[in-house]
Structure 1
């Protein structure tokens, strides 16, 4: 009886999920084409609080990232994507 309930619940979940999909051809592109430089960009993602510590408190910071710019440039990076910055400490 328990297996039958699980199978029924799974089938119901699949049926509900399938009905939540948009109809084919109904999707419209709502964003615009990005800038031309983005097509060939080499993007380097940095989470500053764990990237490089500059003042010895064990928490990475923007000055720490700046101290590694030569290294980042040698990698051929053309854009940096910073993860969200939060106050710490």
Structure 2
């Protein structure tokens, strides 16, 4: 996403939002494959790898939501790191 205004437009326009989510959903297989390769597993991806890929995409959405709500005042990378950190076991 280029700017908070662009992100907001995409989020508030149903057709654009649907296409954006569809596009991100299409990224999931590539993320799952990358996780499988990193772990050295072969064959079908595990449930855990699929869940981690889905969680990563949702972390991105949450970070974008907070970034957009702040009109870009908050750092997107920091928000994404916070989102991932929230998944870590305590």
TM-score, normalising length from structure 1? 0.25
Larger fraction in helix: 2
Normalized per residue, the structure richer in strand is 1
